Amino acid sequence: MSTCAVAALSSPPTSFTSERVTSGITASVQPSAFLGTKISVCKGASVLSRAVSASISRQPLVAPIRAQGVAAPADTKAPTTTKKTDTKSTVIITGASSGLGLATAKVLADSGEWHVIMACRDFLKAERAARAVGMPKDSYTVIHCDLSSLNSVKQFVDNVRQSGRPLDVLVCNAAVYLPTAKEPRYTADGFELSVGTNHLGHFLLANMLMEDIQHKENDTNRRVIIVGSITGNTNTIAGNVPPKANLGDLRGLAGGLDGVRSSVMIDGGEFDGAKAYKDSKVCNMLTMQEMHRRFHEKTGVTFASLYPGCIATTGLFREHYQLFRTLFPPFQKYITKGYVSEEEAGKRLAQVVSDPTLNKSGVYWSWNNQSNSFENELSQEASDAEKAKKLWEISEKLVNLS
Ligand SMILES: NC(=O)c1ccc[n+]([C@@H]2O[C@H](COP(=O)([O-])OP(=O)(O)OC[C@H]3O[C@@H](n4cnc5c(N)ncnc54)[C@H](OP(=O)(O)O)[C@@H]3O)[C@@H](O)[C@H]2O)c1
């Protein structure tokens, strides 16, 4: 079992305070301890400013500050209608502008059998990333999608439909991870950012696109894949590093995770950015299984989740301390040997998208040290059918599907 994130995905043993100023972002930091070493950490405005465009820190119990202007930006190209001669299958990958999503997009695009719709919040970054890794020009389309805004998700679905491409596979891959955040941040709709983006944004997207995927004719390879993580599974060593994932009785989620009427944490506890990420991953894995129970038999669509391995170099750790980000990859490579390159992880996710032997529905895939896939076991909570049903019903209300 990989020990990925044994250190990474736990709350840092430090205090970190940040304050928002009108002309920009400043951060004041206190010394912190990492691997027994005292370090000083400075988070610059450049790191925070990107996050602020979609989400804004706020003090609790004040009038909510919502994200600004998250509808499709001016630089989103109107998708052109597909040529009838294009016989490729179509896959949507959220968060395809970096890391696992980009590596997967590259593998599928290079195969010549897939057209990749890159569902990304930063259009130019996605376009540049696709070019930088050499994805053939006609193998992909970038369509704006900010998962931290329900309106943006709806706009994205409209744009996909306008493109005229029949959809085969959806990959819910994008995620934010805020291990050093002292205060919660919020989506445009007022949900705590990690669960709002990683779970609720994808929940709405997957539900809306089910209509399109299930109506695709004469095709057996129709799949919905939601990327999970070992860190949400408390039946593993990594999943037992505090703070552990725990959705409790979902009281915070039922209250809207807004920090005013309810807690920002699903279980109703105090804000903890690392735990919020792990909780969101439990939601991802529960959602996949609930979709399997509700839709697989009726539609033939395959639902799957996976843990791709510890990809210690990706942007997921962008909000972690610089020293941590420097030491984590070699630590995983040479000490735990749990390291997986972005390229290898991309091949694994691409397998779950397209390999006919990985077509079983309701499975959480993992890979052994020889890179062979196997059906892994989820923790008790991440496979709790009652909890999955309750999560589904609350999430439906929050994203206005019921
Ligand atoms: N890295 C690991 O070791 C590891 C292990 C297990 C599972 N995972 C999972 O793998 C998946 C990909 O993570 P990664 O490691 O590849 O990290 P990453 O490089 O940071 O990729 C995350 C992607 O999500 C996008 N994103 C973030 N917020 C978004 C929003 N509001 N709307 C749309 N897109 C948004 C990012 O867009 P920008 O480029 O615009 O920032 C980026 O493209 C995640 O689900 C993560 O939980 C990772």
Q: What would the pLDDT profile of 47-90 be if each residue is shown by its tens digit?
A: 223 333 334 343 333 333 233 233 344 344 445 555 545 789 99
Q: Identify whether 362 is part of a domain.
A: yes
Distance of CA 158 to the CA centre of its chain: 21
Residue-level pLDDT at 14: 26
Give how far Cα 378 sits from Cα of 193, 206, 363, Å. 25, 21, 9
DSSP of 107-164 = HHHHTTSEEEEEEES-HHHHHHHHHHTT--GGGEEEEE--TT-HHHHHHHHHHHHHHT
Cβ–Cβ under 8 Å, residues 141 and 117: yes
**Statement: residue 159 has pLDDT above 60:** yes
Residue-level pLDDT at 218: 58
The Cα–Cα gap between 106 and 5 comes to 25
**Statement: residue 395 has pLDDT above 80:** yes
Number of H helices, E strands in the chain: 12, 12
Q: Identify whether 26 is part of a domain.
A: no
Classify burial at 365, counting beta carbons within 10 Å of its beta carbon; exposed 0-12, middle 13-18, buried 19 or more.
buried
Q: Which two tokens stand for residue 127?
A: 């376009």
Residue-level pLDDT at 402: 85
Mean pLDDT of 4-11: 38
Residue-level pLDDT at 238: 86
* pTM for the whole structure: 0.84
Question: pLDDT-based confidence at 337, cuts 50/70/90?
Answer: confident
Measured from the CB, is residue 316 less than 6 Å from ligand 1?
A: yes
Residue-level pLDDT at 2: 38
Q: Identify whether 4 is part of a domain.
A: no
Q: What would the pLDDT profile of 223-258 be if each residue is shown by its tens digit?
A: 999 999 998 999 998 899 999 999 999 999 999 999
Residue-level pLDDT at 15: 25
Q: Identify whether 29 is part of a domain.
A: no
Mean pLDDT of 272-294: 98
Q: Identify whether 334 is part of a domain.
A: yes
Q: Identify whether 76 is part of a domain.
A: no
Cβ–Cβ under 8 Å, residues 350 and 96: no
Cβ–Cβ under 8 Å, residues 287 and 202: yes
**Torsion-angle region of residue 61: left (phi > 0), alpha (psi -120 to 50) or beta?**
left
Measured from the CB, is residue 95 less than 6 Å from ligand 1?
A: yes
Residue-level pLDDT at 268: 98
Measured from the CB, is residue 175 less than 6 Å from ligand 1?
A: yes
Measured from the CB, is residue 315 less than 6 Å from ligand 1?
A: yes
Question: pLDDT-based confidence at 94, cuts 50/70/90?
Answer: very high
Residue-level pLDDT at 306: 98
Q: Identify whether 75 is part of a domain.
A: no
Choose one of 153, 155, 288, 314 to mutate for the ligand 1 pocket test, by most ligand atoms within 8 angstroms of C-beta. 314
Q: Which has the minimum average pLDDT: 16-25, 86-95, 135-144?
A: 16-25
**Statement: residue 325 has pLDDT above 90:** yes
We report the CATH number of the domain holding residue 164 as 3.40.50.720
Mean pLDDT of all residues in the chain?
83
Mean pLDDT of 203-210: 98
Q: Which two tokens stand for residue 135?
A: 């994805």
Mean pLDDT of 5-13: 36
Q: Which domain holds residue 346?
A: 86-398
The total of structural domains in the chain comes to 1
| Share of residues in the chain with pLDDT > 90 (%) | 73
User: Strand pairing of 302-306 and 363-367?
Assistant: parallel
**Statement: residue 45 has pLDDT above 50:** no
Measured from the CB, is residue 142 less than 6 Å from ligand 1?
A: no
Q: What would the pLDDT profile of 188-199 be if each residue is shown by its tens digit?
A: 999 999 999 999
Q: Which has the minimum average pLDDT: 9-23, 262-276, 283-297, 381-395?
A: 9-23
3-state secondary structure of 200: helix
**Statement: residue 293 has pLDDT above 60:** yes
Mean pLDDT of 146-163: 98
3-state helix vs strand vs coil in the chain, percent to 5: 40, 15, 45
Q: Identify whether 288 is part of a domain.
A: yes
Mean pLDDT of 360-380: 96
Which atom of ligand 1 lies closest to the CA of 4? Answer: 3
**Statement: residue 307 has pLDDT above 70:** yes
